[in-house]
Structure 1
């Protein structure tokens, strides 16, 4: 079964760290990407897809104008498509990218941060990016192997593919990969963040990888467990104050931290 319903904090830890032991090096090193969602019914749809309409055609216009108007010199350290796409995603532009984290605890945070969703079950998706990358065409697989890497950086990917149309033409089938963005700010670093990328902007990631059941799991977090998880994460300092450095993150943390269990702020 790819869907796992946990009933306790301990069961959740076991499910998240399952299959992380690597006997060949004698270490616990998970090869999973994690994405936490406050509602288990949510699919893994990109913000571009959620725009509706002819979003695939809009994508190039969005990116072109983002590049044209972005003028902060401290952010313009690279000029590849993948650098700009990563930066656009990070700053809220709808793109075909999806946010993931290497950290199961940060995924737990995003599954429990929205207290207005405590009346529904949440979920954490886990995808084995090493196994997923074995599905790539040799042109891309060889790049990872030559670098001794498990995930692409923007520089590595640009050495193989320089445009979205070229990515789409590598294979006659939809493909997916994981991409590490540059460390543009503390938010990316603190969230241990990276992205998934589909060659087809119309594809829903969670639908695409169902044909490969061996590479993914969906861990269901019952609504009755959310408060315990949330309180323990706060005690462990996995909070908005850390993951979103700045006054916005501080305010979000304080607002949630002092909210009563019914989710309604006192006047």
Structure 2
């Protein structure tokens, strides 16, 4: 079943860690990428897609000007994947989509915005191991050579040096996951990584619909959101940890002291554009 609606906190735990047991290792090692959204109707659309209009031709201009004005010391190497990672991290519209290895980080983003607690939330879980089995041979070979399940920016740079080359590497659409450099504590604490597709106009929803064996959707009823939010706060899964610094601290305190009976107009850095 690709979609399940949880009925309790205990049920939610079972669904978040479904298929996590690895019999070869004798350990619990989930192979899922998680992304939490506060409204179950939200699509898996990149910030570039959400620009609207004729956005695809704007991508090289956005990146060129970002590179021109950004400090060169921000990136470890002058590669497209380093630049895209940094650009996405700092809010530039890109073709990347944020994910996390942590189901609880995804759960945070699904319950961070209390103005949407009247809407069902959702956690997408995509099996990156099975997703990468569908990659073109050139890219699968690189993962096999490294004995890796997910690309690093260095590995991806060695295999594909440009977005144009990414479009030419296979005849069919595909999706891949890669880990960004540890630019700051936010990426580290959020246990984050990215997905990317060769066609910037293709929504991941569209591609996943053709491959139903790769993913699951966990629907979080609005009636459970306050309980989940309070338990995450007790477990210290908060903006204070996930967005280190005074901005994250302020967001956490603002939500902590907001009355349950009202719907204050809060704005969260992790909402929609930066959800994981």
TM-score, structure 2 as length reference: 0.94
Query: Offset at 1:122?
Result: 0.2
Take 2:158 and 2:242, find their aligned partners in 1: how far apart are those partners?
Answer: 31
1:67-88 per-residue CA deviation (whole Å, 9 max, x = no partner) reads 1100162x23211100000000
Take 1:176 and 1:101, find their aligned partners in 2: how far apart are those partners?
Answer: 16
- 1:13 matched to 2:1: no
SS at match of 2:181: coil
Query: Offset at 1:11?
Result: 0.6
Take 1:264 and 1:201, find their aligned partners in 2: how far apart are those partners?
Answer: 36
Take 2:106 and 2:9, find their aligned partners in 1: how far apart are those partners?
Answer: 14
Which residue of the partner structure matches residue 199 of structure 1? 198
Which residue of the partner structure matches residue 84 of structure 1? 83
SS at match of 1:159: helix
- 1:39 matched to 2:39: yes
SS at match of 2:87: helix
> Is residue 3–residue 219 contact of structure 1 (8 Å, CA) maintained in 2?
yes
> Is residue 187–residue 245 contact of structure 1 (8 Å, CA) maintained in 2?
yes
Which residue of the partner structure matches residue 64 of structure 1? 64
SS at match of 2:33: strand
Matching of residues 161-200 of structure 1 within 5 Å: 161-200=160-199
Query: Offset at 1:218?
Result: 0.4
SS at match of 2:182: coil
TM-score, structure 1 as length reference: 0.97
Take 1:148 and 1:140, find their aligned partners in 2: how far apart are those partners?
Answer: 12
SS at match of 2:251: helix
Take 2:179 and 2:75, find their aligned partners in 1: how far apart are those partners?
Answer: 17
Which residue of the partner structure matches residue 23 of structure 2? 23
C-alpha distance 87-206 of structure 1, shift in aligned 2 (>3 A): same
Which residue of the partner structure matches residue 221 of structure 2? 222
- 1:248 matched to 2:247: yes
Which residue of the partner structure matches residue 273 of structure 2? none
SS at match of 1:35: strand
Query: Offset at 1:66?
Result: 0.5
1:108-149 per-residue CA deviation (whole Å, 9 max, x = no partner) reads 000000000001100000000000000001100010011010
Take 1:77 and 1:140, find their aligned partners in 2: how far apart are those partners?
Answer: 22
| Aligned positions, number | 265
1:41-80 per-residue CA deviation (whole Å, 9 max, x = no partner) reads 001000000101121110000001101100162x232111
Which residue of the partner structure matches residue 145 of structure 2? 146
Take 1:54 and 1:170, find their aligned partners in 2: how far apart are those partners?
Answer: 25
Which residue of the partner structure matches residue 155 of structure 2? 156
Moved more, 168-177 or 150-159: 168-177
CA RMSD of aligned residues (A): 1.1
Take 2:153 and 2:263, find their aligned partners in 1: how far apart are those partners?
Answer: 43
> Is residue 114–residue 263 contact of structure 2 (8 Å, CA) maintained in 1?
no
SS at match of 2:139: helix
